[in-house]
Amino acid sequence: MKIEHKASFHNHSQYSDGSFQVEALIDRVAFLNKSLELEKGISIRGLAIVDHDFYPDEATASAASAHASKYGIELLFGSEISADNDKVHIVGYSIDASNFSFQRHVVKEQYKRLEAFEATCRLLNHFFRREGKDIDLDRDVGPKTLKRDAEGRIMQNGPLRWHYLRQAMVERGMAKTTKEANILIGPVGPCYHQRETIDSVTAVERVLKWGGKPVLAHPHKIPEEYRDLVIRSLCKAGLMGIEAYTGSYHDPEDANMYVQIAKDHKLMILSGTDLHADINDIGKFLLPFEVLKEVESYQSRFHCHDD
């Protein structure tokens, strides 16, 4: 049987809000490939890993790529950037992590994320003050970021994740389930805090400045009333591609409005698994492996100046 080589785009790891360490994610993909080859005649040979406010250093990326190569898998790294008050997300693939401007951006965004956690805890404590319930970032949430080995020894400090806060809310009696907790701290909840973000055009320009390739993630999540305007502006700024196929939007090509938008603006047509926890999602919205190579070799015609 001839096996078709595929690529999976936009997957998260424990470097942000994914459930798997990078090496574990690679192992899971390699295991999944066994059933994909037998049942569908396909195999995932390209894996794009993008995390929020993070990009691996050269040593980390090299080690992960070496681990993946043992299974015949090629990795592509990127960073997902929140913009326009979290309404628009830009993925920057193949960023030069040694660029100090990018390093400054990551530090600033991580600090703003920390401030958002602190503000959310304050809102929760005020909301539950009459019930005598409280939550403390250092006591209840921070320890969940510690990664331990089989003997319980601390291996590293991981990033703050909203899921940790939701878990802590359940433990402190502020919610019965993490789903209920998410309602309280989500965009429509009484304890929601929106952190400051950059605008989406600036996000695209910065990705180009950092030597990366900017892609619009899950465009269907942009409010419809200004979606077209945002996309046109991003195209003028140097957008490379658009995720036309995602978990919430995956119409066939002839009915997919984002495929048509991509064609109209000469953008690459990409997909976004947006994997966080369910490894079976990794096999959805696959593209030919050659598309991953096209992303790697893409040369932008846009030249952005320093800030």
- pLDDT at 161 (0 to 100): 83
Least confident stretch, 26-35, 81-90, 234-243, 293-302: 293-302
The pLDDT of residue 16 is 84
Looking at the predicted structure, is the pLDDT value of residue 304 above 90? no
The reported pLDDT for the residue numbered 14 is 80
Using one digit for the tens of pLDDT, what is the confidence trace for 148-193? Answer: 777 777 766 777 888 899 999 999 999 999 999 999 999 889 999 9
Ramachandran category for residue 173: left, alpha or beta (phi over 0 → left; psi -120 to 50 → alpha): left
Stretch 229-256: mean pLDDT: 89
Q: Which pLDDT score, from 0 to 100, does residue 276 have?
A: 82
Distance in angstroms between the alpha carbons of the first and the last residue of the chain: 53
Output the pLDDT for position 156. 65
pLDDT band of residue 204 (cuts 50, 70, 90) is very high
Mean pLDDT of all residues in 241-262: 86
Q: What is the dihedral of CA 86, 195, 8, 63, to 10 degrees?
A: 160
User: Tokens 């997957």 belong to which residue?
Assistant: 11
Considering only 159-168, 191-200, 209-218, 228-237, which range has the smallest mean pLDDT? 159-168
pLDDT band at 250 (very low <50, low <70, confident <90, very high): confident
- pLDDT value at position 307? 52
Residues paired with 272 in a beta bridge = 246
Average pLDDT, integer, range 142-152: 81
Tell me the domain boundaries of the chain: 113-185
| pLDDT band at residue 130 under the 50/70/90 scheme | very high
Q: Quote the mean pLDDT of the chain.
A: 91
pLDDT tens digits along 19-68: 788 999 999 999 999 999 999 999 999 999 999 989 999 999 999 999 99
In contact, 218 and 242? CB cutoff 8 Å: no
Compute the distance between CA of residue 64 and CA of residue 219 in angstroms, rounded to an integer: 29
Nearest CA to 22 out of 31, 12, 30, 32 is that of 12
Using CA atoms, how far apart are residues 99 and 216, in angstroms rounded to an integer? Answer: 22
Contact 125, 134 (CB under 8 A): yes
Distance CA 29, CA 36 (A): 10
Strands (DSSP E) along 29-111, which ranges? 42-52, 74-83, 88-93
